[in-house]
Structure 1
Amino acid sequence: MAYKSPVYHVIPVPIEKVRPNTYNPNAVAPPEMRLLYESIRADGYTMPIVCYYAKSQDIYVIVDGFHRYRVMLEHPDIYEREGGVLPVSVIDKPLDQRMASTIRHNRARGSHDVDLMSNIVKELHELGRSDAWIAKHLGMDKDELLRLKQITGLTALFKDVKFGQAWQPMDEEDGDESENGDDALLG
């Protein structure tokens, strides 16, 4: 059987059974939220909310579409018109893959919150994912990943990083003329 994308199996889910995830770094400014509301008001929901179904709790955890979810929560006219039901497309992936999916969706659309993004890098690291895995699945280069790891301030994120020597102090006979060696830093 050929692969069939989740979008071909959109299901109606009562908003009460949908929950935001705890890791989404995407932020939408008020003008864009108003525009999203106007878009949904004028055109309806044209894209499903991407969720993971947590069977044990019988809830749908958002992977992508948090702001479309918020529109229904915050606007009674949308809730009423839609009958309190959201279009949901379900993916069945472990947490690390869902986090990566969220980031890919966000990055494909625009910007997201750097502090929250660095927290995701931290969480993925704590889940045992390597820098190479994180960079590949979140669409980052090694410099961007390094900057995000630095923001967290956690030394554990750097335990496997190989550091070179940026400079080597010069001996006095190598031409260091200062008594305290400060000039050696300038090379």
Structure 2
Amino acid sequence: MTTKKFISPVYNVIPVHHSRIQANTYNPNAVAPPEMKLLEKSIWEDGYTMPIVCYYNEDEEVYEIVDGYHRYTTLLTSKRIMERENGMLPVSVIAKNESERIASTIRHNRARGEHDVSLMSNIVAELVESGMSDAWIMKNIGMDADELLRLKQVSGIVSLFKDSEFNKAWE
């Protein structure tokens, strides 16, 4: 018996106009506004580095999103990205039934994980020690001032606070 060789869908990415793509009805993932802003910046600065994963619905002749809804909505809401990409998105197509697509969506969402606080603290320390300002770090990594302060505190490295101004509450 011969088994068919599996080829990962990412090797067959195709450009699809956004008007032929639709969201699924079951994605439980939500992204907070600061992360959406960072996603827009990431796509603007780096381009689309990951395709939208879709199922092709032959009956409706549309691509239904399995993973990448927020990359898709970023195209729809960012005029500059829409113009640069000519309304097109990179799509990787999977052929699965609805239950398998739902499972795939959940796996994609959960596999992204969370950032480790100590590793993020080390990254912040390296950036500060290399001369990057707090403003640069917040802008380019998508942090607010409170998060940056907490990560500096976690590091325990006093030098990270050398240029900080503190109020006189402790006097």
Above 0.5 in TM-score? Answer: yes
Q: What is the distance in 1 between the residues matched to 2:68 and 2:43?
A: 12
Report the equivalent of 1:34.
Answer: 37
Matches within 5 A, 1:161-172: none
What is the aligned counterpart of 2:64 among 55, 61, 64?
61
What is the aligned counterpart of 2:8 among 5, 19, 24?
5
CA displacement at 1:76 relative to structure 2: 1.0
Matches within 5 A, 1:34-113: 34-110=37-113
Q: What is the distance in 1 between the residues matched to 2:83 and 2:93?
A: 24
CA RMSD of aligned residues (A): 1.0
Q: What secondary structure does 1:80 align onto?
A: helix
Gaps of at least 5 residues in structure 2 are 115-171
Q: What is the distance in 2 between the residues matched to 1:3 and 1:109?
A: 24
Aligned AA for 2:81? I
Gaps of at least 5 residues in structure 1 are 112-187
Identical pairs, percent: 62
Matches within 5 A, 1:82-161: 82-110=85-113
Q: Structure 2 length normalisation: TM-score?
A: 0.64
Q: What secondary structure does 1:13 align onto?
A: strand
CA displacement at 1:2 relative to structure 2: 2.5
Aligned AA for 1:88? V
Q: What is the distance in 1 between the residues matched to 2:22 and 2:84?
A: 20
CA displacement at 1:25 relative to structure 2: 0.4
Q: Which runs of 4+ in 1 moved over 2 A?
A: none
CA displacement at 1:43 relative to structure 2: 0.3
Decide which structure has the larger Cα Rg and report it.
1
